[in-house]
Amino acid sequence: MRFSLLRWRNGTRQPTRMNPKTILITGATDGIGKQSALELARQGHHIVVHGRNETRAKQVVADIQRATKNPRVEFVLADFAALGDVRTLADTIRQHYPRLDILINNAGVFMPSRTLTRDGYEMTFQVNHLAHFLLTNRLVEKIKSSAPARILHVSSGLHRGGNIEWDNLQGEKQYSGYDAYARSKLANVLFAYALAEKLGNAQVTSNALHPGVIRTKLLRAGWGGGNDLSRGAETIVYCATAPELESVTGRFFDNKRETASSSLSHDKNLQRAFWDRSAQWVGLAES
């Protein structure tokens, strides 16, 4: 698959009162990801929009630049249903960007029926969790070298309905779109907490968040209803930029406030076991 790193210079950079950051947002050509990219570009940050369709990505970059007058908006391409694409994406970011201050793991899908990726994993589990696990681990040294830095994991309040059944993680025995989604969102929180512990005093924070029940393509596929996109971006933008969160790590946020995640997500043994299994699945050495 061909990857693009195109710089679109269609406007004049506006002065910003903030120290601009380089921010990669996965799944940013639609929904909450796109809205977050727009809001962060409006603040003057250097935005890297991830998508899987080049035509769509080009249009989103042009739209954001036109709306914000910020020329430092670019795109990268990768299909998260292919782990090879994720590895190439990480290599591209490492090679072409001097720093990565903020990684926002936002891409997600809801699959009503069980579908396997070309890697042999259930689609929801791979796109929502495994791809981000692999991408983050392959970028973590770049992020650490940019410290102080932040990693955000866009989860959902539905993680509280998730459970880990080792013999049914891929829906091998029984599949429900809701269960698969809730399990993947629990995986996001487990990963966020385990990563926070592993990062230690590296001056890189790792937090999970619930963006709210927002009217997106994903929500329409599963439930319908929801609030508008600007509400969905609020907590993401807050967690990415709030000065008071610079050293806050291993937490869960909802509506721009720290809140309790499920008791299962705090199980240290489960966090470590899930990390080890995830590393095996994506071909990473356990660290």
CA angle 246, 250, 251 (to 5 degrees): 85
**Angle separating helix axes 268-282 and 177-199, nearest 10 degrees:** 100
For CA atoms 191, 227, 219, 222, the dihedral sign is positive
Q: How far is residue 253 CA from its own chain's centroid?
A: 14
Q: Provide the token pair at 276.
A: 């080890």
121 tagged catalytic: no
Q: Report phi then psi at 283, rounded to 5.
A: 80, 30
Q: What stretch of H or E contains 139?
A: helix 131-145
Instruction: Name residue, tokens 């001097």.
Output: 98
Q: Which member of 121, 181, 193, 238 is catalytic?
A: 181
Kindly tell me the burial class for residue 132, based on how many C-beta atoms sit within 10 Å of its own C-beta (0-12, 13-18, 19 or more). buried
Three-state SS annotation for 249-281: CCCEEECCEEECCCCHHHCHHHHHHHHHHHHHH
Active-site positions read: 181
